[in-house]
Chains A and B, each alone.
Chain A
């Protein structure tokens, strides 16, 4: 817990310093608009506190972020935290939905590969899995969106695909799903490969392990051996890997995919804030992302110990 706080503190200082060092990012100039008088700018510096020493400004920003909760963006002077709060369910909807798809598909492909190890199906699935991981995610999203909502939109099978945006679940579950299916697929495609490979390797390891061979020697059918004995152990690395990946996805990858589909979750907010060099939302989002990653890592460490019976014996 102390480690978490230290890491977050270090990150917040790093972000603050980086974005105050950039020339041209002077927020007073930006806030003053295009016809400022010297007086305007001086006044803005005073009102917003840009004339105070850096560490005072840092403290004030932290206070507004955590305690007073009224942090305001430089770009359009709107409150940062409500925008983030609005964005979190959207990002989670995207990440969780995609995660379900990539987990199920990944495990399936991995198991199939392992069973048919060395044979044609294995090789093909390997290449497919690796191909998915090799595609730039934003490119895949952009190209699919173009093909399905423009080029081939008139085809009946694609005519329902919406051109982007997000509909809250409460408004219409069907629309919500329709708007998310393509982003889910895109986010899943680039993640399936890892899982498939890990499950495959893990299964191979376990399938060759002594206790499985014993079970088979005792006459248990292949299927029973597979499902009961090997699958559970195989899932251990999957779970740990998933924890890290999900943390990384929510904390990071969504920045590339949300702007393409106009989902307006925290990822898109991050991308816009970065483009505008807008420090207050960036600070909040970076800490939020880092928090997620660290928590995910911690949970994974704990879960690994708990799940793997071998480590418990040790």
Chain B
């Protein structure tokens, strides 16, 4: 689906107004707070938790270990391979996984990776989409047509099949392009794959916006004063598509976190030794019956983060253009 907001170009004053509207929206405040909390917990607070509370990291395996609780000695992993479940304790608060690793710690560190992959791939995607959308929308003609065909091609390829095909190829042997060498277990692979697959989704509304703006007087004026195309794109067009870009960015981060989880579920997401919310689910799914926490907990983490992002993005859109006409193309 594509959704575009056609904004009335209002320059920088519009942002101040938007900010005030945003501040008055309780849903937006709450989601922003949740997101900030998540970022704080996963990044600076996680190692503190490890050092002070439970002394083992996300990859520390403890299959033969024991937990001391209430005078009892509970094995971290039972003789039949069932890990201990959630309990009120600082270590293994959410239980352990089949390798004896602490699930709560893994979710914290996994959050780092999922957020990193989501945000970086979103930035990359939006960056590429901006370039293609600006160039295509402004130049029009043959260039636009070629760009349009390329985007159509990528978009027609069933999303997950394309992502899996690319990720699998790259992951098997890594990638060597000239001086650039990417190992097969690098995070760059899911990041690039997710970014590329969704470029058409973001580029279309941007291009539509650019097309609409191009015909407006202030652009004609700039052309008349002899400004070159790059200057026009950067100085005149870019600020005016900033609002739609920002909205799309938040929505794409949300989308990409979900896509990372899906790719990990299909086996081609973040490589296995580095925890991410997606691959924790994938590893826990096979034992959902004996250790449901392994599947449920990271999924809830994803859900909370993505809801907050979506609500924020929705509120952003409302704030930036409360009377926007939504046209579906």
Q: Do A and B interact directly, with beta carbons closer than 8 Å?
A: yes
How many pairs of residues, A versus B, come closer than 8 Å at their CB atoms?
Answer: 153
By beta carbon, the residue of chain B nearest A288 is: B158
CB distance from A121 to the nearest CB of B (A): 13
Check A135 against B288 for contact (C-beta < 8 Å).
no
Determine chain B's interface SS by DSSP, over half rule.
helix
Check B299 against A252 for contact (C-beta < 8 Å).
no
Check A134 against B152 for contact (C-beta < 8 Å).
no
> How many Å lie between the Cα of A265 and that of B157 in the bound state?
19
Interface residue total, chain B, C-beta cutoff 8 A: 50
By beta carbon, the residue of chain B nearest A11 is: B157
B169 touches A (CB below 8 Å): yes
Interface residues of A in 1-26 (CB under 8 A from B): 3, 7, 10-11, 14-15, 18-19, 21-25
> How many Å lie between the Cα of A24 and that of B306 in the bound state?
37
B52 touches A (CB below 8 Å): no
Interface residues of B in 151-207 (CB under 8 A from A): 152-153, 155-161, 164-166, 168-169, 172-173
CB distance from B306 to the nearest CB of A (A): 4
Chain A residues near B165 (CB, 8 Å)? 15, 18-19, 274, 282
Of A127, A136, A197, A304, the residue contacting B258 (CB under 8 A) is: A136
Q: B270-311 interface mask toward A, CB cutoff 8 Å, 1 = contact, 0 = none?
A: 000000001001000100110010011001001100110111
CB distance from B244 to the nearest CB of A (A): 15
Chain A residues near B292 (CB, 8 Å)? 143, 146, 151
Of A123, A134, A245, A286, the residue contacting B307 (CB under 8 A) is: A134
Of A131, A194, A289, the residue contacting B303 (CB under 8 A) is: A131
Of B1, B164, B169, B278, the residue contacting A244 (CB under 8 A) is: B1
By beta carbon, the residue of chain A nearest B251 is: A133
A162 touches B (CB below 8 Å): no
**Would A277 and B299 be within 8 Å (CB), given that A142-B285, A252-B160 are in contact?**
no
Of A3, A11, A139, A142, the residue contacting B302 (CB under 8 A) is: A139
Partner-A contacts on B (CB < 8 A): 1-3, 26-27, 152-153, 155-161, 164-166, 168-169, 172-173, 254, 258, 261-262, 265-267, 278, 281, 285, 288-289, 292, 295-296, 299, 302-303, 306-307, 309-311, 314, 323, 325-326, 328-329
List 8 A-B pairs, minimum CB-CB distance, nearest first.
A289-B158, A134-B306, A139-B299, A237-B328, A252-B158, A134-B307, A130-B310, A251-B158
